[in-house]
Amino acid sequence: MEPHLLQQLINAAEKAANIARVCRSNEALLKLLVQEKTGPDANARFEHDFKTLADVLIQETIKHDICELFPAMREAIKGEESPNFTNVEGESVTIVVGETVEETAQCLTAILNAEAAEILASEVHRDVAYEEEVLGEIPALPADLDYSNLGIWIDPIDGTAEYISGDTIFTDFPGITSTGLDCVTVLVGVYDRTTGEPVIGVVSQPFHNKLDENVYRSLVFWGICLPELHANNCQFERPTRDNRLGIFSSSENGDILQRIMDLGYEFAFAAGAGHKAVKVITWEVDLYLLSKGSTFKWDTCAPQAILRSLGGDIFSYGGSINECKPIALSYLDEGEEIENLKCNKDGLIAVRDVSLIDELLAKFKE
């Protein structure tokens, strides 16, 4: 039987969550894995940005597993991280997932000790099937779906600084944390290479449910937004609130926040683009707005597909204001080799209720 793309993406996201948890569960291993990003790989928003072996290994594992099952997509599976990692001797090592546990472990021993390499390689090659009840019923995909016309953007660990530190800070709003493991997500988004529209999204929260010390269970959200099929597992009820809620980066411009307040919004600050988008998906907030070009295609493709399956969307902040109408983020392949075209350079507005957009645009046009 032909594999189901969405189910395989969910399984890949759960395998990613397992790897993230294994790397995070041992403090000595975590310290060994951390490598600071520098130069063009660094995110200018942060004084320190981090790249971990977990990031790279997760990305390459997802690419390997999906390529094996869907070879027509091989050339269009992309991620945030370079597969190159520098070991303690300063040697550049390209992380490659081999055909066997032994091959992958051999690659990892250039960075890790043999025991750690074996543990991680075993996780990479373990069969994983995420079938929790929260997934809901996953529908059959259209029989004529052209896999060669689909691309994938992967963010292996969104919220890497939070993943490394693990320090949790709560906001004034129930269920919304500002920093911590709650803010970490694995993002896998599928887009149509012809139209540039996101069509399937999987967002996993690897540290959603703490069962014991260093023992966690994932929560996975998914959505399908194809012309002939809209489906998701995100049927949350919209709460009744006196005020609207927005969620922002702590570095957001003060003038932006004042305009939001003028529209009757309260707001919280939180880390992680994927985490903030999830709060829109679950109706915990009404709006996620970012005026700066500090997110990338791998940050937004997955949650945008889910929001579109719910009737919402993620729009370009600057583009929508300039055009005086909602302009959705696009994932067209043209020029992606140029780094700045991977960036959502005009910021973003994420909403589940698109009727909020007109009021926002009118306010920001003043």
Q: Which residue among 52, 61, 160, 295 is the active-site one?
A: 160
Q: Which residue among 252, 299, 313, 346 is the active-site one?
A: 299
CA distance 101 to 198: 34
Nearest alpha carbon to residue 293 among 347, 253, 245, 249: 347
Give the distance from CA 302 to its chain's centroid: 6
Q: Are 20 and 50 in contact (CB under 8 A)?
A: no
CA distance 257 to 264: 11
| Annotated catalytic residue 160 | yes
Q: Which residue among 123, 155, 162, 182 is the active-site one?
A: 155
Instruction: Categorise residue 324: left if φ over 0, alpha if ψ from -120 to 50, beta otherwise.
Output: left
Q: Which residue among 81, 158, 313, 346 is the active-site one?
A: 158
| Annotated catalytic residue 155 | yes
Backbone angles phi, psi at 166, to 5 degrees: 70, 5
* Angle subtended by helix axes 53-69 and 114-124, to nearest 10: 40
232 SS3 class:
strand
Query: What is the enclosing helix (H) or strand (E) of 300?
Result: helix 297-309
Residues ≥6 apart with Cβ < 8 Å to 125: 100, 101, 104
| Annotated catalytic residue 295 | no
Q: Which residue among 10, 62, 157, 314 is the active-site one?
A: 157
Look up residue 339 and give its DSSP letter: G
| Annotated catalytic residue 299 | yes
| Annotated catalytic residue 353 | no
Joined tokens for residue 312: 């919402």
Locate tokens 């250039």: which residue? 110
Beta-carbon count within 10 A of 176 CB:
20
| Annotated catalytic residue 182 | no
Residue 347, CA distances (Å) to 118, 267, 350 in order: 41, 18, 10
Residues ≥6 apart with Cβ < 8 Å to 101: 118, 121, 122, 124, 125
CA distance 48 to 30: 17
Q: Which residue among 10, 52, 55, 192 is the active-site one?
A: 55
Which active-site residues does the annotation give?
55, 80, 155, 157-158, 160, 299
